[in-house]
Amino acid sequence: MEKTVIVAGLGLIGGSIAMNIKKNDGFKVIGYDEDRQSLELAYRQGVIDEIASDLFDMLPRADVLFLALPIAPTIKVIEELQNVALHKNLLVTDVSSVKNGVMAEAAELSNEYITFVGGHPMSGSHKNGFTAAKPHLFENAIYVLTPASDNNEGEGVACIKQLLSESKARFITLSPKEHDEMTAVISHFPHLIATSLVHQARKWEDTHPELRNLAAGGFRDITRIASSNPPLWQDIFFQNKHQLLPMLEDWIEEMSQLKRYLEMGSKEETLKYVTEAKVYRDGLPVKEKGAIPAFYDIFVDIYDQPGAIHKVIEILATADINIKNIEILEIREGITGVLRISFPSGREQEESANLLRSKNYEVVIEQ
């Protein structure tokens, strides 16, 4: 029998979830969002089968509810679920980037029809809204599940995996605490620092108006995430502030230590500090999505000439090589730029590098 799934919040994550559920047969997808335009666009594109004007009126029909709203409204909906009159089982899951507040609210639920399994796909973007949603967003990404202590949690986990089986996400189960500690380290805290680096640059621009034109690959790479959706990140920082506050203390102490190294001319300690960071960073997994992007990359030097990028792509396409992603890292008038091309496997990576080198391109392989 067809199951009914409601996706509440049809933005970047909810839209991508709905696109993946629609790849399966046997599910009817109903969309709910306060933004009418997103709903209508999703309906027109066939990503949802029906629009819900009111979430709670629609719930008695549903088998599964995906909460893909910002975190604060997600918690509010969970609180209100307690009083919904249901006549059949409802599996509720969310996608929030921080789990403690959500799971604490879910633990209060005593509605006998509801099973709650927390979720968080470790993949996203600095873009937001339905127009940024894409079906392959979760490919190779870790998808964390944080089941509540409920008898039906095994069934709930299995159902979520089945609904998203086409997404190619890799599911793991964690406790909310473990999840929030780790995401604070590899996602929330770096975001805080990236944001502060942008502020620092902004201040310097008053006295150095050319500064923004100097900002090249390094600054852009490290601050990309500072272009993310501000209300989302305000929400994340406050939801996970118990993890972030001690980390900020540590960071301030670490910066003071670095300051002391520079003041005292401690070159050896500074070299050790930089080297240890490089060794750790180089050892992070690069073959799966997660903290570091998932693909097998090559870097190709190109010149700022009409058709330069097209030529490189044509060489690879003619050899039937499957490209996953292309990024222009830097190209300024009249000088060499760098094209980062990502492949799904090491075989394509090596084959492409050899092919392009045989045509006299400078190619570097990311190890």
Ligand X SMILES: NC(=O)c1ccc[n+]([C@@H]2O[C@H](COP(=O)([O-])OP(=O)(O)OC[C@H]3O[C@@H](n4cnc5c(N)ncnc54)[C@H](O)[C@@H]3O)[C@@H](O)[C@H]2O)c1
Tell me how far, at minimum, the Cβ of 277 lies from ligand X, in Å: 25
Selected binder of ligand PRE within 3, 61, 126, 134 (CB under 6 A): 126
Alpha-carbon gap, residue 193 to 187, rounded angstroms: 10
Tell me how far, at minimum, the Cβ of 332 lies from ligand X, in Å: 29
Q: Is 187 a binder of ligand PRE (CB under 6 A)?
A: yes
Cα separations (Å) of 162 from 25, 155, 159, 174, 343? 11, 10, 5, 19, 27
Going 82 to 57 to 156 to 294, the CA torsion angle's sign is negative
- The stretch among 117-125, 170-178, 213-221, 321-329 that binds ligand PRE (CB under 6 A) is 117-125
Taking the least distance from each CB to ligand X, the nearer of 8 and 91 is: 8
Token pair in block for residue 150: 């409920």
Q: SS3 of 137, please?
A: coil
Taking the least distance from each CB to ligand X, the nearer of 148 and 353 is: 148
* Residue 239, contacted partner among ligand PRE, ligand X, none, CB below 5-8 A by kind: none
* Residue 187, contacted partner among ligand X, ligand PRE, none, CB below 5-8 A by kind: ligand PRE
Cα separations (Å) of 153 from 24, 58, 116, 119, 179? 22, 23, 7, 12, 18
Selected binder of ligand X within 41, 52, 71, 106 (CB under 6 A): 71
Tokens 């894409």, residue?
A: 134
Residues 6+ apart with CB under 8 A from 252: none
Taking the least distance from each CB to ligand X, the nearer of 103 and 316 is: 103
Write the binding mask 215 to 234 for ligand PRE: x where contact by CB under 6 A, - elsewhere.
----------x--x------
* Residue 225, contacted partner among ligand X, ligand PRE, none, CB below 5-8 A by kind: ligand PRE
Tokens 């969970």, residue?
A: 78
Selected binder of ligand X within 7, 29, 68, 312 (CB under 6 A): 68
Q: Is 169 a binder of ligand PRE (CB under 6 A)?
A: no
Q: Is 10 a binder of ligand X (CB under 6 A)?
A: yes
Q: Is 96 a binder of ligand X (CB under 6 A)?
A: yes
Selected binder of ligand X within 20, 128, 183, 240 (CB under 6 A): 128
Q: What is the C-alpha R_g of the chain?
A: 23
Taking the least distance from each CB to ligand PRE, the nearer of 89 and 228 is: 228
CA atoms within a 13 Å half-sphere pointing along the CA-CB vector of 256: 6
Q: What angle do CA 167, 173, 178 make, to 5 degrees?
A: 125
Q: Is 124 a binder of ligand X (CB under 6 A)?
A: yes
Q: Is 125 a binder of ligand PRE (CB under 6 A)?
A: yes
CA atoms within a 13 Å half-sphere pointing along the CA-CB vector of 140: 16
| Residue 170 · residue 143 · CB < 8 Å | yes
Residues pairing with 365 in the sheet:
298
Using CB under 6 A, which residues numbered 46 to 105 contact ligand PRE? 97
Q: Is 229 a binder of ligand X (CB under 6 A)?
A: yes
What's at 318, amino acid-wise? T
Please state, as a whole number, how many other Cβ atoms lie within 10 Å of the Cβ of residue 20.
Answer: 23
Write the binding mask 282 to 321 for ligand X: x where contact by CB under 6 A, - elsewhere.
----------------------------------------
**Number of chain positions touching ligand PRE (CB under 6 A):** 9
| Residue 39 · residue 48 · CB < 8 Å | yes
Alpha-carbon gap, residue 330 to 327, rounded angstroms: 9
Binding site for ligand PRE (CB under 6 A): 97, 122-126, 187, 225, 228
Site of interaction with ligand X (CB under 6 A): 9-14, 33-35, 38, 68-71, 73-74, 95-97, 120-121, 124-125, 128-129, 229, 232, 236
